[in-house]
Structure 1
C-alpha cells in the first residue's frame, strides 16, 4: 500500500527504490503480487485510469486492515470471528451427526441425553479448533503445543508427556489414573478446546 501511495503521487523513481528496499526480500514467496506492482509502474500518477485501479484505496486499505486483524488473532491463537459466529458454525457442523445418532437411539428406544459425554465423535474443521488451555492432572503442567491434551479411550484427558511416561513411550497398556480402564497410547487423540 505504501508503494501504491508513492506511485499515485507520481514518483516512479521513489516507488522503484521503495520496492527494491522493502519488497525484494519477499520476491520468492510473493512473485505474482510484486509483478503486478512492477507493471503498475507504467501508470505512475494515473493509476485510477489504469488496469491496476483495483490497487487504489479505500478498498485495499480496508482489506489490509482486515488481514492484519486476522493475522494478529491467528498469532494469539484466537478466533477472528465473534464468539457467537464461531458457536453457530460449530453447531452447524456438529448437529448432523448428533441428529443422526439421536434418530438411531430413538429407534432403539434408548435415552442418550443423560450421558456424561457425547456418544459419538464430532469432528470440527481446523478453523474451529483453538489453542488448548489445560493443566494436566498428573503432571500439574499446563498444556503446550509440544505437550497437548490427549483424549484417552476411556474419555479422560491427560497431557501427551504424561501418557508417554505412563505407557513407557507407547510400548505397553496403562491404567487410567481416574478409572480402572486399560488405555492404549496409540488410540489417544489430540484434544482441541
Structure 2
C-alpha cells in the first residue's frame, strides 16, 4: 500500500507541474505578444523613416532576446515535466516488481470456472452492465451493447434512467426547472419518504435569485410563496432565507449570510436527487455492477493470499468452488445490505433452503441443526438445555 501511495504522490506532482506550466506559458506568451504588438504599433504610428534606426535596432534585438529566453525557459520546464512523468513510471515498476502480491496476472485460481457457463447467467451479466451504463448516462454505449449481445431491455425499465440522467444533466448545468417539475409531480411520494428534496430545490432557486443582487428583490419575494407548504418542517431555514433579504442591497457575499452562496450546494442537490429518485424507483443509489466491482477489489488480495497458502500446504480440497468462501472476508459496513445469521451449531450461514429457526426457549439455530439435534421427536436445546417439540420451532425472516 505504501508503494501505491508513492505512485499517487508522484502522479499528483506531475499534475501540479503540468497545470503550473500551462499557466506560466500563457502568461509569458501573452507578455511577449503585448510587447510585439507595442513595437508594431510604434512602427505604424511613426514610420520607419522617422524612427531612429539605432533605437529600433536595440528594441528589436531586445525583443528577439526575450523571445529566445522564453522559448528556452518553456523548453527547460517541459523537460522537467518529462522527468516527473518518468518518475511515475519508475514508481509503478517498483510496485510491480517489489512484491508479487501487488500485481498478480494469474487470478483464475480464485474464480469459479462455471460462474458464467450458462446463457441465462450471461444474460444476467449483460443486463447488469446495460443497467450500469444507463445509470451513468452512457445511452449510446448501452444501445450498442444491447444490439451486439442480443439483450432486449424493456422501455419501461429504460425510461426512468433516461429521465434521471436528463434531470441530473440539467442540475450540473445549474438548471433547476426539470428537477422542480419532477419534484412537484412526485410530491406526495416524496413526502411519504420524508424527503426534503422539493424544499431544498426551492431553497436553491431562491438563493440563485439572491445572488443576482437587488434587481431580483421583488422576484425573490414573490418566489418565497413556494416555501409556504414547508413552513412547519423547515421554519428555521425559511427564516434565514428571508432574513438575508435585508442585506440584498449591499450584496449577500458581504453579509453574515454569505454561507448561503457556497458552491458545494449544487453537488449536494445532485446527490439528494439521485438518492430520492432511486428510492422512488425501487433502486439502490449505486449500481449493482459498481458495488460488485468495489467488493471484488477489496476481496481479491485476501483471496490471492488464501490461494498462496493452499498451494504451499497442498490442501487444494479446501476450496470447493461452491457458493461459499473458505473464510469470511470483511468488506466493511458500506457493503452490508442484508442481515445474515450463522448457525452457532454447524457454523454455517443460513439460506433460503436452510433458514434460521427460533426455539421455544428463544435460542436460534439453523434448520439443518434442528433436524440433526432432533431425536425421537424431541429436541434438547444445546444452550439451556430445555427439552421441547421441534415442530414448535418458528422460522425467522430477515
Question: Do the structures match in fold with TM over 0.5?
Answer: yes
Counterpart of 2:314 in 1: which secondary structure? coil
Query: Across the two proteins, how many residue pairs are aligned to each other?
Result: 164
Of 41, 45, 61, the residue aligned with 2:245 is 41
Which structure 2 residue ranges, 5 or more long, are not aligned? 1-200, 210-215, 375-380, 384-395
Which position in structure 2 is the counterpart of 1:87? Answer: 292
Deviation of 1:129 (Å)? 3.1
**Alpha-carbon contact 1:40-1:47 (below 8 Å) kept:** no
Note the alpha carbon deviations across 1:17-73, whole angstroms, 9 max, x for none. 66576255235xxx6x668646643443786755347357xx745642331212343
Alignment RMSD: 4.6
Tell me the TM-score normalized by structure 2. Answer: 0.31
Which position in structure 1 is the counterpart of 2:329? Answer: 122
Change (3 A) 1:53 1:105: same
Deviation of 1:121 (Å)? 0.8
Of 299, 302, 305, the residue aligned with 1:100 is 305
Change (3 A) 1:160 1:176: closer
Tell me the TM-score normalized by structure 1. Answer: 0.55
**Alpha-carbon contact 1:47-1:53 (below 8 Å) kept:** no
**Alpha-carbon contact 1:172-1:184 (below 8 Å) kept:** no
Deviation of 1:120 (Å)? 0.4
Larger radius of gyration: 2
| Distance (Å, rounded) in 1 between the aligned partners of 2:373 and 2:308 | 30
Which position in structure 2 is the counterpart of 1:3? Answer: 203
Change (3 A) 1:122 1:44: same
Q: Is residue 163 of structure 1 aligned with residue 353 of structure 2?
A: no
Deviation of 1:163 (Å)? 1.0
Q: Which moved more, 1:1-10 or 1:47-56?
A: 47-56
Richer in helix (by share): 2
Change (3 A) 1:69 1:169: farther
Which structure 1 residue ranges, 5 or more long, are not aligned? 132-147
Which position in structure 2 is the counterpart of 1:176? Answer: 368
| Distance (Å, rounded) in 2 between the aligned partners of 1:85 and 1:122 | 18
| Distance (Å, rounded) in 2 between the aligned partners of 1:53 and 1:43 | 12
Which position in structure 2 is the counterpart of 1:140? Answer: none
